[in-house]
Amino acid sequence: MKQRFKVTILALLMVIICAGCQKKDDISEKAPDAASTTESPSDVSVSDESAVGDSVAEDDNIEIKSEISEDRRYHSATVNGVDYSLTVDLTKWEGNTNLLQIETLESLFWQVYPKMYERFGTYSSAPTDVELLIENEGYEIACAWENKVHLHDMWLHDNPEDFDCYTHELAHLIQNGWSEDYLEYDSYIERFADYCRYIYAYDDGKYNDKGWT
């Protein structure tokens, strides 16, 4: 009787131990592995540390050095012996112009500006260090002064293929302060910028509408 009682107690203990092990295994299977969890987009923050790297412009095989941070994108390269730089200022950017569009504007600069500079810019001492400010303020679509181009943050959001408005403004930088006082017609200032938009349009006018072709 005593022996049977010991066997019964031992059997009960084994059942309890096995049940505990099974429960632990079930919990382990349900618990996510910390290494395999992913953060939702809202949990991911943009680092403000600069990411520095080299890239190559596909069209002209231009070696471009880049420094990218949260509110500034800096690129520099030498094209046919002339040193150029492009700084994209995003301090007043609110994300309406998306990142792919910003990268397209950067590509446009390297495809377009050195060509315009070589043809016209040396005569006017046009700037070779250019700033693009994408800002969600002001009423203008875009405007240019000194070495700066302002592009309204909503323009490409609402007109997603009008990249060559930037070509037009870059042409104003090439003019480098043309004065109406020395022109037969003051309309020449805008006509020149329109001419450059037509001749030097990004990707051979891929994004120009029929009014420009």
> What are the pLDDT digits (tens) for 73-121?
999 999 999 999 999 999 999 999 999 999 999 999 999 999 999 999 9
For residues 72 and 31, give the distance between their C-alpha atoms in angstroms, rounded to a whole number: 41
Predicted confidence at residue 30, as pLDDT, reads 34
- Domain assignment present for residue 31? The answer is no
pLDDT of residue 208: 75
Supply the pLDDT for residue 31.
34
Q: What is the pLDDT of residue 60?
A: 62
Domain of residue 67 covers 51-212
Residue 127 lies in a domain: yes
Confidence class for position 204, pLDDT limits 50, 70, 90: confident
Asked if the structure places residue 8 within a domain, the reply is no
200 within some domain: yes
Does 70 have pLDDT greater than 70? yes
Q: What is the pLDDT of residue 211?
A: 57
Please name the residue that has the structure tokens 């005569």: 123
Q: Which two tokens stand for residue 168?
A: 């037009």
Residue 38 belongs to some domain of the structure: no
Q: At what angle do helices 188-199 and 164-175 cross, to 10 degrees?
A: 130
Whether residue 178 is contained in a domain is answered as yes
Exposure string over 67-92, b if 16+ CB within 10 A, otherwise e: eeeeeebbbbbebeeeebbbbbbbee
Residue 51 has pLDDT above 70, yes or no: no
How many domains, in total, are found in the chain? 1
- Asked whether the beta carbons of 202 and 164 are under 8 A apart, the reply is yes
80 occurs within a structural domain: yes
Strands 72-79 and 62-68: antiparallel
Q: Name residues whose C-beta falls within 8 Å of residue 115's C-beta, 6 or more positions apart in sequence.
A: 200
What pLDDT does 177 receive? Answer: 85
Is residue 17 in some structural domain?
Answer: no
**Max mean pLDDT range (27-36, 96-105, 201-210):** 96-105
